[in-house]
Amino acid sequence: MLAKTLMASVAALALGAGLAGAALAQPVTIRVVAKDLLTTNPQDVAHIERIEEAMAAQGTEIDIEIVDLPSAGYQDKLALMLLSGDIPDLIYFQGGDEQFANQGLFEDWRPWIEETEHLQEALWPHNGDRLDNYPYLLYVFPARTKSPVMREDWLEQTGLERPQTLEEWTEMMRVLAASDYDGNGEEDTYGIIAPDNTAELDAVFNQAFGVATTWMQDENGEWINARVSDAERDKLEYYQMLFAEGLLDPEFITSNWEVKEDKFYTGKVGIVMGTAGPVVDIYRTKMRQINDGAELVLLDPPAGVGQGLEAVDVSKESRGFALSALSENKEEVVALMDFLASPEGQTFERMGFEGEHYTNDGGSYEITEAMGTWYSRFMIAQPSAWTPPVDLLSPVAQASLEQGAHYFTPDNAFVWHAEYAADVDAAENYYRTSVYRFVSGEWSMDQWDQYVQGWYDAGGQRMTDYARTVLP
């Protein structure tokens, strides 16, 4: 009887120890919220599951929980979620991060990155500059330069060479606006469009007018904001001409990026700007699908006073991932990011799924047409950190990345202290409203001095006074 009791006790202890061991072996849950990462997207779910499996095989057991937030209004919905106290471990921002960073909600990425094997090697040069200026957002992607593209067959029909100067660009847009290349019997194509505001136009035209950086020196050597410079005035006068002649789509102010792309695919506009690299590839893929294999061609930014793409802001990441300072699983989050930067993780992130986005016949890789719709959910390491076994981008998309590197110019913008937030917002809102008034012809260029004073009154004076204490 005693022996049976002892055996039962030992069995119970063994069972308890086994259950305890099983409990200890449970994966650590990491909650991730990111725009366009959703449990309703089967590809997102499959991508996350294979990351979990690969990390488990390497000895790191994690359960990545996708926190669903709709893409529409993502920034506002994210802010409401965080303010309610629901704070995931890894948080993707597309603006609005400063208010939470100022509350000490995020970790400084730099000491964590220093301990990684792959992540520290994956950073692009501008990532390091931005982390030094603002260490709370990490976005391991090439600089988001904008690349102007148009249909190759339409370029051929114009009989013109790829435009190089501002005058040649203007001629190209005039020819496109007077064409019927879409074959619908009407001259209803605009030369160019930029969604919501003129930001995408600026990305290509700034340098041509001498708008080189955010802060410029006037004739007295004093720092002024480029938005009240003579160069800005000349640029807006050019935009006004494009609008008046019907070369710039007049509906640009009410057209979001989806409308812009639809107008491009359906022949309502001839030239658009796409983010260099994968986005240009998506444009190419969709254009080919909709228009019987029509290819895209990359255009150089116009030469004028200068030539190049808009200066790249290195003051901080405008978007990216934050590591919650309240997370109890920081080590696991960093391990996830380090895995994603590793060769295996980059294969997942960059190449999509074997059999769908690429094939592998004994080490001989081929990219399928579906690759044009695949995009990295977390990061794209710089080439020195991981070289794919096959070209992942089409020639035009690869050329757009090379264009961004060729014309790269660092900006002299800086991060504003919170006390200037109202001034920055007010000046920006005044600028955007005024730009449309100038471009649409509601205001004549004779009202420039009135605009300049209004910008200073809206917060620009405080901004300028502070900038002169920061800039050399």
- By residue count, the chain amounts to 472
Stated pTM of the model: 0.78
Can you give the CATH number for the domain in which 275 is found?
Answer: 3.40.190.10
Confidence of residue 25 (pLDDT cuts 50, 70, 90): low
406 located within any domain? no
Position 13 scores a pLDDT of 39
Q: What is the 3-state secondary structure (H, E, C) of 420-465?
A: HHHHHHHHHHHHHHHHHHHHHCCCCHHHHHHHHHHHHHHHHHHHHH
| Domain carrying residue 114 | 23-143+316-382
162 located within any domain? yes
What is the C-alpha end-to-end distance of the chain, expressed in Å? 90
Confidence of residue 373 (pLDDT cuts 50, 70, 90): confident
13 located within any domain? no
Q: Is the pLDDT of residue 87 over 60?
A: yes
Q: Is the pLDDT of residue 1 over 60?
A: no
64 located within any domain? yes
Confidence of residue 259 (pLDDT cuts 50, 70, 90): very high
Q: Are residues 139 and 164 in the same domain?
A: no
Q: Are residues 329 and 374 in the same domain?
A: yes
**Among 103, 105, 97, which Cα is nearest to 130's?**
97
pLDDT in tens, 217-239: 999 999 999 999 999 999 999 99
Q: Is the pLDDT of residue 243 over 80?
A: yes
Q: Are residues 443 and 321 in the same domain?
A: no
What is the share, in percent, of the chain residues with pLDDT greater than 70? 95
Position 409 scores a pLDDT of 87
Q: Is the pLDDT of residue 96 over 50?
A: yes
Domain boundary residue among 364, 382, 400? 382
394 located within any domain? no
Q: Are residues 270 and 154 in the same domain?
A: yes
Q: What is the 3-state secondary structure (H, E, C) of 299-333?
A: CCCCECCCCCCCCECCCCCCCEEEEECCCCCHHHH
Q: Is the pLDDT of residue 311 over 50?
A: yes
Number of domains forming the structure of the chain: 2
Confidence of residue 323 (pLDDT cuts 50, 70, 90): very high
Q: Are residues 224 and 334 in the same domain?
A: no
8 located within any domain? no
Q: Is the pLDDT of residue 408 over 90?
A: no
Q: Is the pLDDT of residue 10 over 80?
A: no
Q: Are residues 328 and 183 in the same domain?
A: no
388 located within any domain? no
Confidence of residue 393 (pLDDT cuts 50, 70, 90): confident
Position 199 scores a pLDDT of 97
Position 57 scores a pLDDT of 97
Q: Is the pLDDT of residue 366 over 50?
A: yes
Confidence of residue 369 (pLDDT cuts 50, 70, 90): confident
Between 299 and 11, where is the model more confident? 299
Minimum mean pLDDT among 17-21, 301-305, 384-388: which range? 17-21
390 located within any domain? no
Q: Are residues 165 and 294 in the same domain?
A: yes
Q: If you average pLDDT over residues 44-62, what whole number do you get?
A: 97
Q: Are residues 57 and 77 in the same domain?
A: yes
Q: Are residues 171 and 268 in the same domain?
A: yes
Cβ atoms within 10 Å, residue 141: 20
Domain boundary residue among 344, 367, 382? 382
pLDDT in tens, 277-298: 989 999 999 999 999 999 999 9
- The mean predicted confidence, pLDDT, of the chain is 93
Q: Are residues 281 and 425 in the same domain?
A: yes
Position 405 scores a pLDDT of 85
Confidence of residue 361 (pLDDT cuts 50, 70, 90): very high
Q: Are residues 300 and 436 in the same domain?
A: yes
Q: Are residues 120 and 165 in the same domain?
A: no
Q: If you average pLDDT over residues 144-161, what whole number do you get?
A: 97
Q: Is the pLDDT of residue 301 over 70?
A: yes
Q: What is the 3-state secondary structure (H, E, C) of the chain?
A: CHHHHHHHHHHHHHHHHHHHHHHHCCCEEEEEECCCCCCCCHHHHHHHHHHHHHHHHCCCCEEEEECCCCCCCHHHHHHHHHHCCCCCCEEEECCCCHHHHCCCCECCHHHHHHCCCCHHHHCCHHHHHHHHHCCCCECCCCCCCEEEEEEHHHHHHHCCCCCCEHHHHHHHHHHHHCCCCCCCCCCCCEEECCCCCCHHHHHHHCHHHCCCCCEEECCCCCEEEHHHCHHHHHHHHHHHHHHHCCCECCCHHHCCHHHHHHHHHCCCEEEEEEECCHHHHHHHHHHHHHCCCCCEEECCCCECCCCCCCCECCCCCCCEEEEECCCCCHHHHHHHHHHHHCHHHHHHHHHCCECCCEEEECCEEEECHHHHHCCCCCCCCCCCCCCCCCCCCCHHHHHHHHHHHHCCCECCCCCCCHHHHHHHHHHHHHHHHHHHHHHHCCCCHHHHHHHHHHHHHHHHHHHHHHHHHHCC
